Structure 1
Amino acid sequence: MPSRAASDATSLGRLQTYWWGFLLAEIVVLISCYWYLSNRFHLPTGPMTGAERWLVLAGLVIGVELWLVRRNLGKNHRRGEKNLLPTLGIGNALTLIRGLAYALMAGFLFAPRPDGWLAWAPAILYSVACFADFFDGYLARITDHTTVLGEVLDIEFDGLGILIGIALAIQYGQLPWIYLLVGLGRPLFVWGLRLRAQRGLPEFPMTPSANRRIVAGVQMGFMMIVLWPVFAPPLTTLAALLFGGPIVVSFLRDWFVVIGRLDPASESYRRVHGATQQILFAWLPVFFRYSGAAVTALILWRVVQDRAIWFALPAPFDVIAPGITSVVFVLGAVAALTAVLGVAGRITGVVFVLVACVDALVRGLGADNGFLLITAVTLVMTGTGRFALWTPEEYLFNNQTGRRR
């Protein structure tokens, strides 16, 4: 029977072979995309063409990502175990595909928004990455291949993807520059911890938080939508405030915990935290459920009186505007009812986002659709609250699907 050292050496050799395979595959994708963009992505001035600049930036990000993978191959073992697994597993493979999508997005940095369907490329790539982010952990869990390597790559790629997405949205004028602080939140957090360690200052452990995972997931969903070229300020500015605020608060709370300014075990903290939780997650959603239902009914009633009001959607949605508006109208009517009944508050909030965005696209941002957007984001963040009849989505928001019980 081979020793563990010999077994690990064999496993590491196989992992390095997989790494080289991914390197070659990503080079093929990179060259193929460059060939496609060579006659389609142009810059007004500069020493490089648009495709050449895209190739350099995307290649740099791919290099950083593959360096991270190579550096951490020795962590391809289950947490609590020491035996190195010989394969990356389907979950880690999907994480690498997610990283590739982020790299292809990064190629569009420092350049004007491309024309035609390429204007949608960053949003499409980020959407692919978001779906991969949901399924990579799920597939790793159901195949019993959750590893420390996967955890490291998940955290690093999440931070990289958010930063690239925010930078692109700021570059295209869809988000204010101050929103870059949200993308830099994790790097600044890690840098602060390293600085404290160098100075010999203590670091206190963060307490587990389901809200942290929810806020991060909602942020990814927001970035997936805000990159659509049809959205612009002031709608996106209001959305940035609503989605970015909870993230900043979450980072500040965690920072004060790790430096010892907040003690989650103290009686005073628990008392304030409990009262805050009651307000934010029990009673506030009730107000926004009923007020959101009322505003949605008002907006839909306006559409009933003049159906053509929603047909003036911007391209490319103008071609299928009647179909889109009919679907959103029906979903909005159902969501108004579920809000009153207290059914699936977070899903109701997502539908309210659709109604608010469609109305704002054709009529401009107003008090009614602006308030509905505030209502929608609040419900997605907080859930249904008190007097809820049925909340099936809470399991997905608060648990990792595929985990063995």
Structure 2
Amino acid sequence: MSEGGGTLAPTVRLRRQWLLVAACAAVGVALGWDALRELDMAIARRWVLPTTAVLGFELWFLTRHLDRNRTAEGRLCETLGPANAVTLVRGGLYAAVAGFVLVPPTPAVAWLPGVCYGAGAALDWIDGRIATTIGRETRLGATLDLAFDTLGFLVAPLVGVVWGRLPVWYLALSFARYAFKAARAGRRYRGRPVYDLPESRVRRPLAAGQMAFITLALLPVLPASMVHAAATLALAPSLAVFVRDYLVVSGRLRADEP
């Protein structure tokens, strides 16, 4: 059957691929558990629960949005494709980072959150390039990309704060996206106009900069005092963009205004 088919077969195939993704996630958790158990059983026990919880959320999110595996023209794709596969690996890496929120920052694991998050951030650059190169840009891919970006900005700074690598106010970045969505939904609920958010030349570069900063913050290469001092400077531009975007969608600021 062609990818443009609108019958049940593509959905069945996608469901089977979801099961394969779930199986790979289970294998990943088992391998992570085994590796950490070799270091310290207590670390493995603390790591496995948050990691499994985040993976469970990601699998639920994937199955909820499988029907969005369509091109811009609405053509349903029967397979997840390599770009989405890379994005899902990125989600798995962010889930692994989340596991360290309950793990004390011992020398044995000090590098792991930063390495996992940095690898996921690098894959964020790769998955989009793959989709563009092979002509498989899908709505599902865009949805997963944004959701996993937001998730990464939540779990990685949280680990950084718990480990003392980031100041607590840096968590404002973690909740900015959720606050923006809640404020926009609140306007819709009250019957107030919500305007489209246009493309921006600064959102992606700022997001990439935040990913690089979070990676550097999590890696034990700079003193925590230096990271804390730089955190406010790194945070301010992204928060300013969230404020500006809300002013645009609420009609208080025209999209073409600075």
Report whether the alignment pairs 1:218 with 2:218. Answer: no
Cα offset, 1:129, TM superposition: 0.3
What is the alpha-carbon distance in structure 1 between the residues aligned to residue 248 and residue 21 of structure 2? 39
Change (3 A) 1:233 1:29: closer
Considering only aligned residues, what root-mean-square deviation do their CA atoms show, in Å? 1.7
Deviations 1:176-234 (A, max 9, x none): 10110111110111111111111111112223210111111111111111111232333
Which residue of structure 2 lines up, in the alignment, with residue 249 of structure 1? 240
Which letter maps to 1:31?
A
Q: Could you say what secondary structure the match of 2:104 adopts? A: coil
Query: Which residue of 68, 78, 82 maps to 2:61?
Result: 68
Aligned match of 1:98: 90
Equivalent runs, 1:45-64 vs 2, <5 Å = 49-64=42-57
Q: Is the 8 A contact 2:47 2:102 kept in 1?
A: no
Aligned twin of 1:236: 227
1:225 partner SS: helix
Which string of whole-angstrom CA distances, capped at 9 and with x for unpartnered residues, describes residues 265-284 of structure 1?
A: 5xxx4xxx3xxxxxxxxxxx
Separation (CA, whole Å) in 2 of partners of 1:100 and 1:264: 36
Runs of 4+ in 1 over 3 A off after TM superposition: none
Equivalent positions of 1:341-380 (< 5 A) are: none
Distance 1:222 1:8, change over 3 A: farther
Give the conservation status (yes or no) of the 8 Å contact 2:210–2:234.
yes
Residue in structure 2 matched with residue 25 of structure 1 by the alignment: 24
Count of residue pairs brought into register by the alignment: 257
User: 1:95 & 1:227 partners in 2: Cα distance?
Assistant: 21
1:143 matched to 2:134? The reply is yes
The answer on whether the counterparts of 1:8 and 1:84 sit within 8 Å (CA) in structure 2 is: no
CA distance in 2, matches of 1:20, 1:52: 25
Change (3 A) 1:256 1:41: farther
Q: Aligned with 1:247: secondary structure?
A: helix
What is the match of residue 123 of structure 1?
114
What runs of 5+ residues in structure 2 fail to find an aligned partner?
none
Classify 1:114/1:8 alpha carbon distance in 2 versus 1 (closer, same or farther; 3 Å).
farther
Residue number among 103, 111, 116 corresponding to 1:111 in the alignment? 103
CA distance in 1, matches of 2:6, 2:191: 39
* Cα deviation 1:115-173 (Å, max 9, x = unaligned): 32x21000110111011111001001111110000000000000001111111111111
| TM-score normalised by L of structure 1 | 0.61
> In structure 1, what is the Cα distance between the partners aligned to 2:202 and 2:242?
12
Higher RCO (C-alpha under 8 Å, 6+ residues apart): 2
Matches of residues 234-313 of structure 1 in structure 2 within 5 Å?
234-265=225-256, 269=257, 273=258
Matched AA of 1:104 = A
1:41 Cα offset (Å): 3.6
Kindly name which structure, 1 or 2, has the bigger radius of gyration based on alpha carbons.
Answer: 1
Q: Please name the residue that 1:279 is paired with.
A: none
Per the alignment, residue 39 of structure 2 pairs with 40
Residue identity in the other structure for 1:27: A
Pair 1:184 & 2:204 matched: no
Distance in 2 (CA, whole Å) between partners of 1:10 and 1:161 is 33
Tell me the alpha carbon deviations over residues 16-39 of structure 1, each in whole angstroms, 9 at most, x when there is no partner. Answer: 111111111110110111122124
C-alpha deviation, 1:111, in angstroms: 2.8
| Residue 16 to residue 41, structure 1, CA distance change in 2 (3 Å) | same
* SS of residue matched to 2:224: coil
Give me the TM-score of the superposition, normalised by structure 2.
0.94
Aligned residue identity for 1:50? I
CA distance in 1, matches of 2:149, 2:227: 22
